[in-house]
Structures are given as C-alpha cells and as structure tokens.
Chains A and B, each alone.
Chain A
C-alpha cells in the first residue's frame, strides 16, 4: 500500500482562495498559486481545489487557475466543483490537473463517472460524497437525497471511480474528529482508495483517520497555521502513522 496522504483542501471562488486562510509571510493570501506553492513546499502530499461557486461563467477562470497552478506545483492536485461533463473534465485535466472530483453531477447522471474514467483513466476520477444520516447530500450538504451513502460509494467504484472523497457533514468544521465509523463502512464496501474528510482538529484525529482511510483531507486545521503543516506531519508520525519522508526544498 502507498503511504497515507495528507491533503489540504482549498476553497476557491471566482479564481481566488476564500474561507479562513490566515497566512503569514504571503503577499496575497487569496492567490491560489502562491498558496499551492506554500503548501507544496510545506509538506502536502497532494492538494484539492474546490470551486465553491462553480457557475458556468467560472469555466474559463478555473481553467486558467488550473494552468497557473500546474506550472508551479510539482505535486498532484485534484479540482472539483462544477464538473458536469466529459468536456469540463477534459478542459481541467488538459490544463494540468491530475484529477477531477465530481459530486452532484455524478448523482444526477452516474454514467458520467464511466465516461470520464474511460477517457482519462480511473485514477483521474474522484467521486465526492457529502454524507449525513446515512444518505448523500447535495448543494454543499444542505439538501438531503434519498440515495444511501454506502451503496452509492459502491456504485461509484463499480462505474469506474478511482477514489472516494467522503465528507461527513455532521463532523465538517467541528474539529472534533473524523467520522471513523462511516469512513470504515465505506472503505470496507469498495476496493478503491478512500479519502476521509470533515472533522480534523488535531494530529491524533488525522492519525486515527489515516489508520482507516488511504488519505485525510485537512482544511481549517492547516489554514489557520500553514507553516505548522510540517509539525503536524511530525506529530502524526509520532503517533505511529508513517508518512512520506520530506526532502529539502528544491533550490
């Protein structure tokens, strides 16, 4: 098995990073390119950019953002939000993203998973699931559907998803730990990697999630102190979870 991954998630609106990022020593805290580089140098194993507005008018904004990020970032990154067709995925991947994350569009039309996977490979398709009370939610977690979480994860994997990004709506932003029970249920139901998301408040939360899942998404815990990412990694390793050894910054 590959080493477990620590993945900072950056929310983007109109080509800018938004929400609770308090960086020190950066000229512009909203610049996705600068932030991406900062996290990349600081020990992220991968990054996720989530376009939280994702209006059709944003299409060209996000494409140019992806291209700029790809030109400076030497670690993999996933782009989600507003991917509704193979064409959307193509535009983002050809601009330099490694993977696209699809959520409501996959629920509305599950064949989209297969269509993107057969064009770009399963490794390029992440299916994001916002889960609460056993069912999948849409609209940023506000609207409950009747689709059950675990069967949907299984269906997504069968249709060609390369990874499940599982967010617990209940835990998200609460910083009281990941939903380990839900994460374990989804992990046991599929044979593709699973990213745990929602609830990280400490190194021990991340470590316990990484014992179950293949990767952990982190947001507020690192955005409040981006320079602390290296320290967070060290704490996680001290708890017995081996991460990728970091190399000196490339000069």
Chain B
C-alpha cells in the first residue's frame, strides 16, 4: 500500500522522478500495469515525449482506464508536464489528440517570443522558482497557479498537475514533491 507508482508510457525519462522520490525516502516502481496503478498509494504521471504516442501507450496498456478509475475513486495522482497535459480533454499537439479527460480544459501551443520555454520561472502565487521545459500549456477552469499569465498548475479533487519539473527543480522541487507525498 505504501507504494508510489510512476506511470510508464514508453517515452519518458522516469529515472529522474524515481531518483527524486528515493531522495525523499520513497520507493517507487515504474510500470504501466493497470492493477498497480489502481492500487498504489500515490501515482505520478511523468512528462516527456509527445502527447500522441503517450496516449496511444496509455490506451494500449490499460493504464488510461486505470487512471480514470483512480481519479473517480479520489485516489491521488500527480501529473508532471506532459502528465498534466494528458489529464485534459484535448491537446492541439501532433495535430490534435484526445486526452484522459480527468479535468476540464485543453492544451494549446505557447505563444511567446521563444518556444520552447526552457528555464526557471517563479510560480505565482507560490513565490518559488521551478524548472520548465515545454512548448504547450493548459487552459483549464481548475487553474491554481501561473507564470506570466500562463497556467502552470491545476487541481481538481485528488488530481494535482504541474507544468514544471519538481524532480529537476533542486531543493524547491524536492520540497514540493515532499509536500505532495505528505498529503496522502
């Protein structure tokens, strides 16, 4: 029961997430097994790769259904970067991809002078700097934090999604992960 599951969807760099969890004294396993995802105490949906291939992998393995079940059961999920974007209903990445539809909202391409957005930004209203690497961003009524007016965190029931990479955000990121885990 004390297991943390990091969802594997075939493209991600899951190693850094597991290393950050280990640093916090939490054992984790990387899997796409629906049963493990349903029953884990805490699930991290990490983020690297493209929306289309990630969704295809989640659908094929049954992980998508397990994540929806988990959400319906009010069991905690942390979505990181693409992992947060996948929780929305739709993304315009790769010519349009249907998401997990856990939350209301969609994913649109960033319109800034330089894309991808690479680097550290202070998240408001939290006042802490975290590391970002993304070309797309969410628009959702469940927004809880932003950078330059762009939504960078969403929360609905037991799903928390962040656009930044806590596992790559130094001490501030580890603190953030620790707080997420301490809530369960």
Contacts and interface: CB of A to CB of B under 8 A. Distances in A.
B48 A71 contact: no
B115 A75 contact: no
A249 interface: yes
B168 interface: yes
Contact of A244 (B129, B165, B175): B129
Nearest to A74: B170
B62 interface: no
Chain B: number of interface residues, binned into ranges: 35 or more
Interface string B82-116: 00000000000000000000000000000011111
A108 interface: no
A1 B113 CA distance: 8
Nearest to A2: B119
Nearest to B93: A121
B85 to A, nearest CB: 12
A184 to B, nearest CB: 14
A4 B114 CA distance: 13
Contact of B119 (A67, A93, A215): A215
Contact of B117 (A2, A96, A120, A245): A2
Interface string B164-184: 010111111111000000000
A60 interface: no
Nearest to A163: B118
Given A2-B132, A121-B135, A245-B129, A93 B171 contact: no
Contacts of A119: 11, 49-50
Interface in A190-214: 191-193, 214
B19 A72 contact: yes
Contacts of B118: 2, 5, 123, 162-163, 193, 214-215
Interface string A226-250: 0000000000000000001101111
B16 A124 contact: no
Per DSSP, chain A at the interface is: loop
B42 interface: no
Interface of B: 11, 13, 15-16, 19-20, 22-23, 48-50, 112-122, 128-129, 131-135, 148, 165, 167-175
A45 B169 CA distance: 9
Chain A: number of interface residues, binned into ranges: 35 or more
Nearest to A4: B119
Contact of B170 (A93, A120, A192, A247): A247
Contact of A123 (B20, B135, B169): B135
24 contacts: A1-B148, A2-B119, A3-B119, A5-B119, A40-B170, A67-B15, A70-B19, A71-B15, A74-B19, A74-B168, A74-B174, A76-B133, A76-B168, A94-B13, A98-B133, A119-B11, A121-B49, A121-B135, A162-B133, A191-B113, A193-B116, A214-B114, A245-B129, A250-B170
B120 A244 contact: yes
A249 B171 CA distance: 6
A248 B171 CA distance: 7
A72 B19 CA distance: 7
A22 interface: no
Contacts of A183: none
Nearest to B19: A71
Nearest to B132: A2
Given A3-B129, A121-B48, A162 B116 contact: yes
B169 to A, nearest CB: 7
A85 interface: no
A96 B16 contact: yes
Nearest to A99: B133
A72 B168 CA distance: 11
